[in-house]
């Protein structure tokens, strides 16, 4: 029997590269005994044998949306999202200067309990998928601008190690 999706509260964890999003999602899901949705873009790009293009990014966005619906039916109470279409929109505009209207509509209609915006206070660490160590503050500002324009609830998450996770848990505990 499928759960009613409206009861699942979604926590979107977003931020620039190398800001601890995946670790935070994993630790929050463990703390709340629930599940998290990994960032589909990472596995897609890791397995791509050529540079990604705009069509790839749009396809990634569609698959991330599909996976979110699927994972929503598997969650108990909270679903932690290790990305959001806000990141996709910013990247499309940054690289190709345009974004499909359906992405804007999906963002406007998103049903997030809260956005946890990971601060850039962690050092950038190289991995083959990451490519932007010098524009993290710029990207963080764009993410925040879209959140504010849409009047979404958000908190900036900072700190290192278990303190970062504890900061997020304190916020979520107030909201749930």
* Tens-digit pLDDT profile for residues 70-87: 999 999 999 999 999 999
Nearest-angstrom CA–CA distance, 45 and 129 = 7
Going by C-alpha positions, the residue among 57, 124, 64, 65 that lies closest to residue 93 is: 57
What CATH number is attached to the domain comprising 35? Answer: 3.40.50.300
Give residue 136's domain range: 5-175
Share of the chain above pLDDT 90, in %: 86
Nearest-angstrom CA–CA distance, 142 and 28 = 25
Count of structural domains, the chain: 1
pLDDT of residue 172: 97
* Tens-digit pLDDT profile for residues 118-139: 999 998 887 878 888 889 999 9
Q: What is the mean pLDDT of the chain?
A: 93
* Tens-digit pLDDT profile for residues 19-59: 999 999 999 999 999 999 999 998 999 999 999 999 999 99
Is 0.85 topped by the overall pTM?
yes
Nearest-angstrom CA–CA distance, 169 and 155 = 12
- CB-count burial class (<10 Å; 0-12, 13-18, 19+) for 44: middle
Q: Which residues contact 147 (CB under 8 A, 6 or more apart)?
A: 86, 115, 117, 154
Q: Is the dihedral of CA 26, 130, 118, 80 positive or negative?
A: negative
Nearest-angstrom CA–CA distance, 89 and 34 = 28
pLDDT of residue 6: 56
Residue listed under structure tokens 């999602």: 25
């Amino acid at each position: 029997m499928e759960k009613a999706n409206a009861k699942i509260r979604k926590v979107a964890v977003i931020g620039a590269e190398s800001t601890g999003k995946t670790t935070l999602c994993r630790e929050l899901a463990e703390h709340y005994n629930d599940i998290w949705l990994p960032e589909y873009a990472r596995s897609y790009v890791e397995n791509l044998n050529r540079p990604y293009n705009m069509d790839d990014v749009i396809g990634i966005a569609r698959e991330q949306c599909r996976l979110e619906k699927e994972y929503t039916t598997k969650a108990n109470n909270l679903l932690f999202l290790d990305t959001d279409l806000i990141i996709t929109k910013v990247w499309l505009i940054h690289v190709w200067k345009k974004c499909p209207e359906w992405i804007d509509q999906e963002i406007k209609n998103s049903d997030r309990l809260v956005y946890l915006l990971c601060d850039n206070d962690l050092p950038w660490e190289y991995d083959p998928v990451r490519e932007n160590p010098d524009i993290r503050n710029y990207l963080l500002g764009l993410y925040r601008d879209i959140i504010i324009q849409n009047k979404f609830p958000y908190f900036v998450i900072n700190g290192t190690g278990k303190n970062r996770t504890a900061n997020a848990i304190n916020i979520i505990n107030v909201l749930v």
